[in-house]
Structure 1
Amino acid sequence: MELPKLAIAALGGTVSMQSTQDGQGVVPAVSGEALLNTVPELNVLARATVETFGLLPSASLDFEYLLNVLDWANAQISRGVAAVIIIQGTDTLEESATFFDYLWAHDEPLVLTGAMRSAMQAGADGPANLLDAGRVALAACSRGRGAQVVINGEIHRANSVRKVDSMAMHAFASPLTGPAGLLVESAPRYFQPPVARHVLPMPQDTLPKIALLEASLGADSMLLDKIVESGYDGLVIAGFGAGHVSAHWAEVIEGIARHIPVIIATRTGCGATAQATYGFAGSEIDLTRKGAVMAGFLCPRKARILLWLLVACRQQAQLVKCLAESTP
């Protein structure tokens, strides 16, 4: 029987890093081809091909770069591949996964993975994560699930996964729901069937600018005051608790919301913003009256991804609907 085709894009990240100078730290150096050669088991499962897009730390990725990767991934599907894997750094893995998930219109799986240990470290996890990603991507039960993150033996939905530890092996979690599935004896085991997804049109405009600011105790509004005049097309606030800001920030946000969309999320790392619980100045009720939109379960970083995409494809009117559908 002919093996399925599997396309892999390597973007860089810790999985590709080695030390090139003693005492200077690790840097991206290992190509996707070299990484694939460390996982011979993958060639037993599929006819795998890899393209090295670049050797970048994921902090240096941007939306335009990801759109180019998406164009490549869409082309691979049109050529008959069974699934696509994207390997990148973990610093922005949750954001990339969310970005791709909103735009991935295929039933074929799109799986993202990376590593917490560099290629030169003992016990490097990159090869194991790539093999697990291949097992998930090629499984029939993975179809129709959009973009997913596979790392450390776990499968996470794009809109739920968060990086919750800076350097530990168990750096990724889905705080509210837990993982969507696990690798058990080398096979993916999902806990729930696929859920409906809201796929957005491809961006049409030049790349918009969406600001993300975090509320903090006693914070001034110098940056907030200049959001509109600085040319931003949208604003996300990582608010206190259930989606709150100071009374002064609320006054400034009211003026901003007359010009650009404003989303209020929670900075806590878990849970949803409230809708109708608190009524003080700067509360969710007050902010909604002032024209802001509450993010619900979507974290600030993912809310920024959503708003960027909606502005870029001229779908701002869908913001409230999309936020309501972004449940874990």
Structure 2
Amino acid sequence: MDLPKLAIAALGGTVSMQARNAGEGVIPTVSGETLLASVPQLTTLARVTVETLGLLPSASLDFELLLNVLSWAEFQIKQGAVGVVLIQGTDTLEETAVFFDYLWPHDAPLVLTGAMRSAAQPGAEGPANLLDACRVALSENSRRRGVQVVMNGEIHQARRVRKTDSLALQAFTSPVVGPTGLIMEDRVHYLRAPAQRTVLPLPHQKTQKIAMLEASLSADTLFLESTLTLGYDGLVIAGFGAGHVSQSWATVIEHVAESIPVIIATRTGSGSTAQASYGFHGSEMDLIRKGASMAGFLCPRKARVLLWLLLGCQRQHELSRYLKDESCIQN
């Protein structure tokens, strides 16, 4: 039987972590090859190639490294892989997933996974998540779905998934929409048809800087006022409720938005920003009049990724079109 080709890359993260000595905290030490050896069932499903591209906690990943990983993944597809699986830490998993999703042009699936328990802990779920991710990457029904995150038996769309718990096994959810699929009895079951995606060209500029600030009760405007003088090229605000800020912040945002793109998202963790509900100073209607853009269902962190990519390929003038796509949920 001619098995399909599957490519796996390990970047590090909790799934690869162990302690060197008793009583010390865990650090990334386990290679992709060792992780693969913990899932012998894969040899019956695919011809697997695995590479260790890094052993980093995901907080230390950056856009430059992710572009190199993307290049590696695209090469695997050109070499005949039917899908690609990336193993990484969970701290930035929701951000790396959307970064790849905006740039992944292939019908073949790109699947991200990790673990909440380190490789040395009893009940470590890393091998199970890896096997599930590989099943998803090998499934014909996974084609044309872009980038997906597989954790704890669930499949999540890259643009919707969020890490909503710091330590729990069930740390990843997709607020409002829920998972797009499940792995049950070793089979991949999708709950929705593939959503329409827009793919950006690769950024040719990589030095742009995007600030992200969170609105909070009685917050001063010192950092906000310094955005332009510090050389930032874009700004994302994690606003109150449906995309609101204080009157003093709204005044500064109007000035900043004259020079750089400003996106207002919601800090709540679920739901969308509004467009035409509130009219007070600092409301979404006021901020739109002042030149800011509303993020819709896109969370602040993912809005920052989108703005970095748009600036990198000089498409910031299309920001409103991309955010309009995020203002509705596709079934």
Is the TM value for this pair above 0.5? Answer: yes
RMSD: 0.7
Which consecutive residues of structure 2, in runs of 5 or more, have no partner in the other structure?
A: none
Give 4+ residue runs of structure 1 displaced > 4 Å after superposition: none
Q: Hey, what's the Cα distance between the residues in 2 that align with 1:2 and 1:311?
A: 44
SS of residue in 2 equivalent to 1:41? helix
Q: Does 1:208 align with 2:208?
A: yes
1:297-308 equivalences under 5 Å are 297-308=297-308
The TM-score normalised by the length of structure 1 is 0.99
Cα shift at 1:23? 1.6
Deviations 1:19-68 (A, max 9, x none): 11222210001000000000011111001111101110000001001000
CA displacement at 1:127 relative to structure 2? 0.3
Secondary structure at the aligned position of 1:232 is classed as coil
Q: Does 1:166 align with 2:163?
A: no
> Partner of 2:40: helix, strand, or coil?
coil
Instruction: Look up the equivalent residue of 1:233 and give its one-letter code.
Output: D
Are the counterparts in 1 of residues 64 and 206 from structure 2 also a CA contact under 8 Å? Answer: no
Amino acid at match of 2:152: N
Counterpart Cα distance in 2 of 1:28 and 1:165: 21
Provide the rounded CA distance (Å) in 2 between the counterparts of 1:101 and 1:168: 25
Identical-pair percentage: 66
Normalised by the size of structure 2, how large is the TM-score? 0.98
Deviations 1:84-140 (A, max 9, x none): 000000000000000000000000000000000000011110000000000000000
| SS at 1:72 equivalent | helix
Q: What whole-Å deviation, never above 9, does each CA across 1:134-186 have from its counterpart, x for those lacking one?
A: 00000000000000000100000001100011000000000111100000111
Partner of 2:74: 74
Between the aligned partners of 2:76 and 2:54, the Cα distance in structure 1 is 18
Please tell me the residue identity of whatever aligns with 2:88.
Q
After superposition, residues 81-160 of structure 1 pair within 5 angstroms as 81-160=81-160
For 1:72, the aligned partner's letter is W
How many residues are treated as equivalent by the alignment? 328
CA distance in 1, matches of 2:60, 2:43: 31
Which residue in the other structure is 1:10 paired with?
A: 10
Could you tell me which residue of structure 2 aligns to residue 230 of structure 1?
Answer: 230
**In the alignment, residue 233 of structure 2 is paired with which amino acid?**
D
Runs of 5+ consecutive residues of structure 1 not aligned to the other structure:
none
Partner of 1:47: 47
1:309 Cα deviation from its structure 2 partner: 0.5
1:317 and 2:328 equivalent?
A: no
1:192 counterpart residue number: 192
Q: Which residues in structure 2 correspond to 1:241-260 (within 5 Å)?
A: 241-260=241-260
